[in-house]
Chain A
Amino acid sequence: MTDARTHTRAVLEGPDINRALTRIAHEIIERTKGAGDIVLLGIPTRGTPLAYRLGERIAQFEGIKVPVGSLDITMYRDDLRLRPARPLGRTEVPPDGIDDRTVVLVDDVLFSGRTVRAALDALGDVGRPRAVQLATLVDRGHRELPIRADYVGKNLPTAKSEQVKVYLEETDGREAVVLIKGAGQ
């Protein structure tokens, strides 16, 4: 998949993504001392299936059922006025809510940090968690806000002009993380 102007390179393949998620699941269990009071909330579109996969792994390793949901942040974005109104994603908060629990936000790519800032605002309207942590499959750097991830699948040094795209079976029918060079903004 190479043409004159853009150059695409796969950074992670299916098995790499699986291994990264397995490690993150173990780290979550370790850091939260057994994952007993956590809630996993995926940020649509691709954070949601990642959150469910982490939930399955934690259930497998610890034998407990972790509440999993999704948190759409579209209405909280700070760049809404730069583009036409976009369609909304699904927000699904587990029935027991998030009050006094440790919420682990799950996203596919951590870049400027603005999505996570919006997610923190959205979270405040849903309840009051005891603590909030962040898990991301890829951290590509170039933060514009003082935000960092607690769990990272892969640190990927990138140029700002490059694009990182995550493909998942549930949303795209294939598994890969690719780096697109020279795609521009």
Chain B
Amino acid sequence: MNRHLISAADLSRDDALLILDTADELARVSDRSIKKLPTLRGRTVVNLFFEDSTRTRISFEAAAKRLSADVINFSAKGSSVSKGESLKDTALTLQAMGADAVVIRHGASGAPHRLASWVDGSIVNAGDGTHEHPTQALLDAFTMRRRLSTLEGRRVTIVGDVLHSRVARSNVLLLRTLGAEVTLVAPPTLLPVTVESWPCEVSYDLDSVLPKSDVVMMLRVQTERMNAAFFPSAREYSRRYGLDRDRLAKMPEEAIVMHPGPMNRGMEIAADVADSARSTIVEQVANGVTIRMAVLYLLLGGETL
């Protein structure tokens, strides 16, 4: 495996399966009364968050702590960054403190890649701009595999704001590697221009795709980025691309509903669908800790180069 996890495209099929298999074993640790392993004792993991994020940050923090690593949280607000420090100077500070791994979330696509050239530790991308969010894709794949037993040949439909979504891009790349067939469904205004070069199908009609889906993943409508009239109104978006009970009924019996969170209930997903037994939304959160433990173990657990 690579020393960093920056893009889902860096993972070979064997790497991805090793991470999923490791997570399968680690999931059993969460069922024990003592949920801690001594493996990363004496290693330091820095959470470097330039964008607000609750679930991803605490998920990484919980994962590192369960492996006995020391965790330092660094958020841009109220730190030297708000005083104008550059990413490079922040990186050099972390380097001087001896960080073995840096988990970074940044508003600019490519920031983790730049960081990797400045520090010695492993870099884990926890979301960069509209580029990638590989651990989210891994936890989604892990959740699918646990529910559907295999990803080979499964049909996954990703619905919503693909244009601004790092989750969609990472998922398309990883699911392809693992042998699933991905279809993106979105209004044309919310698809990136390069989507034709992605290894997936594209559709504008959710109702025709639903009966052929094993997994339907709803993306959050990022209201903070909806400033350029991407669709006429929230109601119209919800009517054409929202997942409600009637649409759920069109999906095959075994098909599951996913959402990376945080959800806009009533917008892209109806409340009763989000709470139904076929929704994996809460499982995804629990699996997030497990998959991040697997990633940290595989990056830091062995000899460091």
Known interface pairs A75-B38, A80-B39, A121-B38; A88-B302 also in contact (CB < 8 Å): no
**Are A72's CB and B25's CB within 8 A?**
yes
Taken residue by residue from 76 to 100, chain A's Cβ proximity to chain B (1 for < 8 Å, 0 otherwise) reads as 1000111111111111110000000
Taken residue by residue from 53 to 91, chain A's Cβ proximity to chain B (1 for < 8 Å, 0 otherwise) reads as 000000000000000000010011000111111111111
Taken residue by residue from 278 to 301, chain B's Cβ proximity to chain A (1 for < 8 Å, 0 otherwise) reads as 000000000000000000011111
On chain A, the residues within 8 Å of B87 by CB distance are none
A126 to B39, CA, bound (A): 16
Tell me the dominant secondary structure on chain B's binding face: loop
On chain B, the residues within 8 Å of A125 by CB distance are 32, 34, 36-37
Known interface pairs A80-B301, A81-B303; A87-B28 also in contact (CB < 8 Å): no
A118 (CB) vs chain B CBs: closest residue: B38
Interface size class of A (residues with CB under 8 A): 20 to 34
On chain B, the residues within 8 Å of A81 by CB distance are 302-304
**Are A82's CB and B303's CB within 8 A?**
yes
A86 to B301, CA, bound (A): 8
Taken residue by residue from 32 to 54, chain B's Cβ proximity to chain A (1 for < 8 Å, 0 otherwise) reads as 11101111000000000000000
**Are A90's CB and B25's CB within 8 A?**
yes
Instruction: Count B-side interface residues using an 8 Å CB cutoff.
Output: 24
A residues engaging B (CB < 8 A)?
72, 75-76, 80-93, 121, 125-127
On chain A, the residues within 8 Å of B297 by CB distance are 75, 85
A75 to B297, CA, bound (A): 9
On chain B, the residues within 8 Å of A89 by CB distance are 25
Which residue of B36, B37, B38, B298 is within 8 Å of A85 (Cβ)?
B298
On chain B, the residues within 8 Å of A91 by CB distance are 25, 28-29
A109 to B1, CA, bound (A): 30
On chain B, the residues within 8 Å of A86 by CB distance are 302
**Are B301's CB and A85's CB within 8 A?**
yes
B43 (CB) vs chain A CBs: closest residue: A81
What would 9 more interface pairs be, CB under 8 Å, given A82-B303, A89-B25, A121-B38? A75-B297, A76-B38, A83-B302, A84-B303, A85-B301, A86-B302, A125-B32, A125-B34, A125-B37
On chain B, the residues within 8 Å of A127 by CB distance are 33
